[in-house]
Structure 1
Amino acid sequence: MSHGVSTEPTGSALECDVVVLGTGPAGMAAVAAAAADGVDVVAVEAMDHIGGNCVWSTGYLTFVNSAMQAEQGIVDDVETFVADAARMTAEAAEGYGMVVDEDLVRLFGRESAETYDILTARGVRFSRFIPRPKQHTVDRMAAVVDPWMFARAFEPDFASPNVRTLFGTTARRLLTDAGRVTGVLVDGPDGTTSITARGGVVLATGGYQSNPELRQRYQPNFLARGPYLGVDTCRGDGHLMGQAVGGDLVNMTFVPPLVIVSSSLVEDAIAVNESGVRFHDEAGPYEERVEALLGQPGRRGWYIVDDVVAREKATLIGQMPEPAVQAPTLVELASTIGVPVAALEATVAGWNAFLATDATRDPLTGRVVMPPGRRACATAPFTAIPMVVGVNFVSGGFRATQSLQVIDVFGAPIPGLYAAGDCLGGLGGTAELGGTRISGGFTLGRLAGRAAARGEVDTRVRHSVQGAFLPSKLDTKIALVHLADR
């Protein structure tokens, strides 16, 4: 597919108003917002299409006080969202050093409803809310009908006459002049190009999960070398370039292990252990899934789906770390994976019997996320997918102002440099809520692109790691939540 690719040689130098590095959710939104302001934009993308990880994902997005919630009579507000974020961050802080920016959390909460309006106006459709009562106290996480809708929704922006997109191109270094970021050096099909940005550079290159050498700086070796889910261009390029000009990285150790599986796939599956029985809420909190799997004999488990699901979600199954196995009957599948035949048959029959009721909570595991239409696991052949602990997302990135300017290690905004998406660290603590990664990228990416186009800056010096650290109100809430739980 074409997205306004420049067919003329890039030469050795380009000039524009705004450079956007990466075209995932944050990058797409930043390009659209900057282009809408009428400035010249250059988008740099390592792959051959826009969309980043989100087009390959399940596509769950969180919106606060959205029109979709209102249509279903769901009452939500920013304060409820902030309280949910504080609770989840307090839990994450048990195992990781956490720096949460309440200003960014609130900014996302206020602006996310507009993101919903923008996406739906562009043709993106959401089918239903995904209940996650342990994370979201109200239903606010919506499932997209097709993740590729995101890329299609923004294709017109990349075809705009004031947007030039360089595919197959990797950013290498930021260019600076007297402390201001003035552009970027990139390598592409035509060699090395220097791009000058009169307004600013937006870092939206994604996370660093596909770079084990970088992860090794923040994780134990055995985890850093573990598998990951997603595109292989999430190498931390933006993190390294921003760090080189003084950007302050936070939450880099928050790389929580999880059982690698798409949320869309897991909602259609049940998981069994070596005894052929279910052992946890398959769609529950990530850390609970890991704990449950590691507590099984041999630390082994399999996701079980039928032929309807295997065909519908073949791409997601193909992305799993270990190959799936298929058999014409449950009897043969049990023999293939080495679990008791009678137990597996009874487990699947029990699950199907539950789905045939109108109960909303699985009495065995407490699961509340059901297959679409409560469809049973009943159509042969059947597929078993090995469960593997790895990494799906990372949450570290730069501190930033309300204008999404990157903040340096001394607490001062870096002129000409903006960050959004997985390059932004202050919102990363909300990741365990679910749905804030893609929605956060679209929401704060839009604001970053607009700020870069308009030259919006924040000259206020904020607290830094030098001297006393002044906790935000959300940090205080986290501490209070933690103490209340003791």
Structure 2
Amino acid sequence: MAEPVRIEADVVVLGTGPAGMAAVSAALAEGAEVVALEAMEHIGGNAVWSTGYLAFVSSGMQAEQGIVDSEDTFVSDAKAMVDLADEDFGVEWDETQVRLFARESAETYRILTERGVRFSRFIPRPRQHTIDRMAAVEDSWMLGRAFQDDFERARTLFGTLADRLLTDGGRVVGVLAHSTDTHGGETRYEITARRGVVLATGGYQANPELRHRYQPSFVARAPYLGVDTCRGAGHLLGQAVGGDLVNMTFVPPLVIVSSSVVEDAIAVNSAGERFHDEAGPYEERVARMHEQPGRRAWYVVDDVVAQEKSGLIGQMPEPPVHADTLAGLAAAIGVPADALQATVDRWNAFLDTDATKDPDHGRVVLPPGRRHCATAPFTAVPMVEGVNFCSGGFRTTEDMQVIDVFGAAIPGLYAAGDTTAGLNAVADLGGIRICGGFTLGRVAGRAAARGADDRGEHASVLHKGMPSMLDARIELVHLDPSTTRA
């Protein structure tokens, strides 16, 4: 077997989604020599394929529109989301990290816009974000292009997978990795990190075998929409050196669909009628679909939307159905034609008004320009329950240094984005995953480049956000034997 290619750098970043892009950029800004590993052939991860919603707190865009936001308001919204998720998943959150995001996210907005990313409008989600703070990117590929120059300065190994972290005396000092060419030939790498390694490999939603460790089989194998490289590599690498994973069961179900498609679609049940707020909270969409006969329902769009968003519609788990007329579409999906026609007519009539809230289901996310569902042919896409994201990951310090199961920071190891748990516990607010990756990835890359753990700041200090398992105490109930019953 050939000897591995040996590479040295100050900082090694695994993954180039939002967290990895920001970590590479921040480490370079600190003067560090950076090597990045990416499983795909381009940077951007899931973000560049997404609808592109980012939530910022007290951003310049909010200020321009006279919207007053605050750290405390965001934390209140986040806490409401945690309380809701805790009923189903038993969620731990890190308020310190949530506050850090709130303070730093406006800087993320400034950096992105200075690099040419344009945001078109706010997406209202009043039941989650009590203040408009979730903004839509004009083109999600702008997010990758904004960091392209950084990756020309760093050394980036595309099509490369990390296999193991290297340690020396308990410190993470590098990574073993490999790549495979089109002829099946393999190149192995041994990459030394003089200051730190940043785990930014995304989530584990594309790995049903890993999900099965934390979920029942039928849930773990539910359909997934997204890039197939989100297989939990960073979670496994960090766990192997002692990293403490939490919230791993928190893989929230949702109806699989791009939010961009939802903006233009209505959903109908077997009676041909709308039955919920199509753009409402994810868990509510699932609950309403479960109430429908046979759990069957369809998203309906016209030809303008079907053509404009053909790529997104083509990624959905079941194939779309097309027909030249609404009556033909109704016949194809087995719903009453007159009911479907009446439903579409009622929706279009609402869009003709100046009302901002749908009177039937309270929907506030409306088609851009309030465009109608009117141009033949028409398309119906089956609604399917599955997953897009997961929220489990590592506990970290405020410098995004990974914490081990005993509550101590692991020297040389940092994490950000969907490999972490503290902020992702509130990600169902919307717009948090991409912006959280950019924001806390910047923190991680900067800390790694500065070698924060070398200063001894966190090496033996228990993190104050999430409690260590050793901090947990069980209250013992002592029974009086005379009062017990056989």
What range describes the TM-score normalised by the shorter chain of this pair? over 0.9
Deviations 1:382-436 (A, max 9, x none): 1100000000100000000011000000000000000000001111111111111
Partner SS for 2:87: coil
Structure 1 match to 2:136? 143
Q: Is the 8 A contact 1:394 1:422 kept in 2?
A: yes
* One-letter amino acid matched to 1:451: A
2:32 pairs with one of 39, 44, 53: 39
Structure 2 match to 1:19? 12
1:322 pairs with one of 318, 323, 330: 318
Partner Cα distance (1:264, 1:30) in 2: 28
1:92 pairs with one of 85, 108, 120: 85
Structure 2 match to 1:313? 309
1:467 deviates by 4.0
Structure 2 match to 1:466? 470
* One-letter amino acid matched to 1:180: R
Partner SS for 2:45: coil
Equivalent positions of 1:130-279 (< 5 A) are 130-160=123-153, 163-189=154-180, 190-279=186-275
Partner Cα distance (1:449, 1:319) in 2: 33
Partner Cα distance (1:64, 1:241) in 2: 32
Deviations 1:298-318 (A, max 9, x none): 100000001111111111101
Structure 1 match to 2:452? 456
Deviations 1:236-284 (A, max 9, x none): 0000010000000011111111100111110110000011000000000
Deviations 1:437-481 (A, max 9, x none): 0000000001101110111132322341024369xxxxxxxxxxx
Partner SS for 1:267: helix
Partner Cα distance (2:313, 2:415) in 1: 32
Partner Cα distance (1:448, 1:469) in 2: 31
Partner SS for 1:39: coil
The 1:165–1:469 alpha-carbon spacing in structure 2 relative to 1, beyond 3 Å, is farther
1:37 deviates by 1.6
Deviations 1:211-241 (A, max 9, x none): 0001011111111011011000000000001
Structure 2 match to 1:283? 279
The 1:234–1:73 alpha-carbon spacing in structure 2 relative to 1, beyond 3 Å, is same
1:103 deviates by 0.7
Partner Cα distance (1:244, 1:411) in 2: 16
Question: Relative to structure 2, which stretch is displaced further, 31-40 or 361-370?
Answer: 31-40
Structure 2 match to 1:366? 362
Equivalent positions of 1:375-454 (< 5 A) are 375-454=371-450
Pairing 1:56–2:49 present: yes
Structure 1 match to 2:59? 66
Partner SS for 2:443: helix
* One-letter amino acid matched to 1:290: V
Deviations 1:280-339 (A, max 9, x none): 000000010000001100100000001111111111101101111111111111111111
Pairing 1:120–2:116 present: no
Q: TM-score, normalised by structure 1?
A: 0.93
1:12 deviates by 2.1
Partner Cα distance (1:52, 1:263) in 2: 17
* One-letter amino acid matched to 2:85: A
Partner Cα distance (2:470, 2:173) in 1: 27
Partner SS for 1:18: strand
Pairing 1:353–2:349 present: yes
Partner SS for 1:335: helix
* One-letter amino acid matched to 2:66: G
Q: Is the 8 A contact 1:255 1:393 kept in 2?
A: yes
Deviations 1:123-177 (A, max 9, x none): 00000000001001100000000000001111011011xx100000001110100
Partner Cα distance (2:92, 2:365) in 1: 31
2:333 pairs with one of 333, 337, 358: 337
Structure 1 match to 2:481? none
Partner Cα distance (2:283, 2:233) in 1: 28
1:11 deviates by 5.1
Deviations 1:350-394 (A, max 9, x none): 000000100011010110110111110011111100000000100
Q: Is the 8 A contact 1:335 1:341 kept in 2?
A: yes
* One-letter amino acid matched to 2:45: G
* One-letter amino acid matched to 1:181: V
The structure 1 segments of at least 4 consecutive aligned residues displaced by more than 4 Å after TM superposition are none
User: Structure 1 vs Structure 2: percent identity of aligned residues?
Assistant: 71
Deviations 1:11-46 (A, max 9, x none): 521110100000000000001111122211110000
* One-letter amino acid matched to 1:263: S
Structure 1 match to 2:478? none
Pairing 1:296–2:300 present: no
Q: Is the 8 A contact 1:251 1:428 kept in 2?
A: no
Partner SS for 1:333: helix
Partner Cα distance (2:3, 2:282) in 1: 44
* One-letter amino acid matched to 2:270: E
Deviations 1:193-212 (A, max 9, x none): 11000010000000000000
Partner SS for 2:89: coil
Partner Cα distance (2:117, 2:321) in 1: 34
* One-letter amino acid matched to 1:45: E
Partner SS for 2:203: coil
Aligned length: 460
Q: Is the 8 A contact 1:173 1:186 kept in 2?
A: yes
Structure 2 match to 1:479? none
* One-letter amino acid matched to 1:142: A
